[in-house]
Structure formats: structure tokens, C-alpha cells
């Protein structure tokens, strides 16, 4: 028969291993750690407006995740956002004339970056820059422009009707 001390030690070790596994799982799922970075290469792209794009946002080609955003900073001379894209090493041969757009998952979902490959025979490599970029469409700006347009249209129609009634 096993001694009481041995059983308690085994249970304690099992409990510590289970807690460690849960911590690793929590960090892996939340994306709050860099312990699990995949091998790959970095390219940069400049945007006028990145909206709510965040670090570790997905990079997709054709809807398939191929990397993540590794850095976001402001260019002090052009005042444009410089986004560093970490693309997984198993994704090779992305043409260097590809376009990059910041899109939204669903109507109010998270932002992600979509790469649309083009037709060049030269490919992106570590340190490359993507020049063809499309900034994020910001819902608040679109609603504001729509409301402004509605206000101007109603003012123009009101002016036209008041001119006709005064004649």
C-alpha cells in the first residue's frame, strides 16, 4: 500500500501541472504572450487611417489567416500609421505589388488586414514595404457624411421651394 505522503505528493504535482497547463492555454487563447511566435518575415505598410486596428490583429489572404500585426507606429514626417505585418514563413511568394486593406469582420467586428495578391513575378521578403494600401472605413465617419449629405439636400430643396413660392 502506498504511503499517505506519496499520494499527497502525486496529487500536488498533478494539481501544479494542471494549473500550469491552464495558464499556458489562457495565454495562448488570449494572445497576450509572445512565447509562441511563429517563424516568418516582416513587411510594412503605411495607412492614412487604421481605425481600431490592434496589435496581433489577423492578416488574411482569401479569408485564411497567414499572420498577425506585430507593430503599429506613427511616421513622424508623413503622420501616417506604419503597420508591421508578420507573415508566417509557410506563406511564400506573395507578389510585391499586392494590395493591403483594413477590413472589418462583420458590421461591428474587429479589424483585420486583407492582402490581395497581384501579378508581379518578384515577391515580398523580410523588410519589404507594400505601397498599395486602403485605409479602414470608419462607420462613424460614414454616418456623419451621410447625415451631412441629407442636411444639404434638404436645405437645397427648402431653398428651391421658397424661391418658387416667392415668385
Cα 17 versus chain centre, distance = 34
Domain that holds residue 46: 40-143
Q: Is residue 83 part of a domain?
A: yes
Tell me, yes or no, whether 16 and 44 share the same domain. no
Claim to verify: residue 44 and residue 25 sit in the same structural domain: no
Which tens digits make up the pLDDT trace of 13-68?
999 999 999 998 887 777 665 566 678 999 999 999 998 899 989 999 999 999 99
Residues in the chain: 167
Backbone angles phi, psi at 131, to 5 degrees: -95, -30
- Between CA 120 and CA 162 the distance in angstroms is 59
Residues 2 and 67 placed together within one structural domain of the fold? no
Give the helix ranges, DSSP H, for 31-167. Answer: 139-166
Query: What mean pLDDT is predicted for residues 101-120?
Result: 88
Residues 11 and 60 in one domain: no
- 3 and 60 in a single domain? The answer is no
Percent of the chain with pLDDT over 90: 55
Report the predicted TM-score, pTM, of the whole model to 2 decimal places. 0.68
Q: Is residue 65 part of a domain?
A: yes
Q: Is the pLDDT of residue 83 over 90?
A: yes
**Residue 86 domain-assigned (yes or no):** yes
Output phi, psi for 116, to 5 deg. -110, 105
| Average pLDDT of the residues in 155-161 | 57
Amino acid at each position: 500500500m502506498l504511503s499517505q505522503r506519496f499520494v499527497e505528493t502525486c496529487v500536488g504535482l498533478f494539481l501544479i501541472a494542471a494549473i500550469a497547463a491552464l495558464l499556458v492555454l489562457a495565454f495562448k487563447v488570449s494572445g497576450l504572450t509572445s512565447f509562441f511566435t511563429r517563424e516568418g518575415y516582416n513587411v510594412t505598410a503605411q495607412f492614412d487611417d487604421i481605425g481600431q486596428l490592434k496589435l496581433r490583429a489577423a492578416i488574411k489572404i482569401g479569408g485564411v489567416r497567414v499572420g498577425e500585426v506585430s507593430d503599429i507606429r506613427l511616421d513622424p514626417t508623413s503622420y501616417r500609421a506604419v503597420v508591421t505585418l508578420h507573415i508566417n514563413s509557410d506563406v511564400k511568394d506573395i507578389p510585391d505589388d499586392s494590395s493591403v486593406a483594413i477590413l472589418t469582420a462583420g458590421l461591428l467586428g474587429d479589424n483585420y488586414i486583407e492582402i490581395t495578391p497581384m501579378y508581379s513575378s518578384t515577391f515580398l521578403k523580410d523588410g519589404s514595404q507594400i505601397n498599395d494600401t486602403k485605409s479602414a472605413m470608419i462607420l462613424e465617419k460614414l454616418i456623419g457624411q451621410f447625415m451631412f449629405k441629407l442636411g444639404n439636400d434638404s436645405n437645397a430643396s427648402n431653398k428651391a421651394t421658397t424661391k418658387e413660392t416667392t415668385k
